[in-house]
Amino acid sequence: MSAAPEIAYSLEEGQDLLSHVIARAEQYIDIYSDKLDPAFYNQESISDQLMDFVLENHHKRIRILIQDPKQATQGGHHLLELGKRLSSYIHMRRPIKPHRRKTDPQFLLADNTHVFYREFSDSYKTQAYIDNPPIAQPLAQQFQQQWELAESHPDLRYFS
């Protein structure tokens, strides 16, 4: 039986859940996002945590699918700057056929086992599933399918 998710309703609690899931990663992290929401991903503490993760071992990697890269690349973004510096560890692409839903779920997967999940981009409600492959694996399959079809985008030219 899978454990119930940890749920956060505020931005601060959601940021803590994101950090908690990142801390569980041992090999790789996959991020699926519409615009790399600055409230979560443009935080120096998250960027530092991701940098520490990839520099710990040269086999670690981060893959990011971002539906609207233009919005994230305007005005500086900690995660994008990190990606430029560590482009051999951090890879970014744009889904070739972005979902048509106005509010696609966004998620971060750590080792296909741990999930940070945010269903609506206009809400800070987030969920963290720790050691939960039944939740993580379908998302991992979705991510992998999208990744294989994804394209480089001019705004992400440093991150292929």
In this structure, what CATH number is given to the domain that contains residue 41?
3.30.870.10
What's the pLDDT band for 86 if we cut at 50, 70, 90? confident
**If you average pLDDT over residues 94-110, what whole number do you get?**
75
Residue 85, in any domain of the structure: yes
Where are the alpha helices (H) located in the chain, listed in sequence order? 11-24, 38-41, 44-55, 69-73, 78-85, 133-149
Pairing of strands 114-118, 106-110: antiparallel
Containing structural domain, residue 133: 6-159
What's the number of domains the chain is made of? 1
Residue 88, in any domain of the structure: yes
pLDDT in tens, 26-35: 999 999 998 8
pLDDT in tens, 31-66: 999 888 889 998 999 999 999 999 998 899 999 998
What's the pLDDT band for 125 if we cut at 50, 70, 90? very high
Phi, psi of 8 (to 5 degrees): -120, 145
Residue 46, in any domain of the structure: yes
**If you average pLDDT over residues 117-121, what whole number do you get?**
90
pLDDT value at 99 more than 90:
no
Residue 26, in any domain of the structure: yes
Return the pLDDT at 1.
Answer: 47
Beta-bridge partner residues of 116? 108, 128
| Pair 29, 62: CB distance under 8 Å | yes
Pairing of strands 90-93, 126-129: unpaired
> If we measure between CA atoms, which residue out of 105, 138, 126, 133 comes closest to residue 33?
105
3-state class (DSSP) for residue 152 = coil
pLDDT value at 129 more than 90:
yes
pLDDT value at 158 more than 90:
no
DSSP state of 130: S
Q: How far is CA 36 from CA 3, 74, 105, 149, in A?
A: 27, 12, 12, 20
Residue 1, in any domain of the structure: no
Residue 29, in any domain of the structure: yes
3-state class (DSSP) for residue 33 = strand
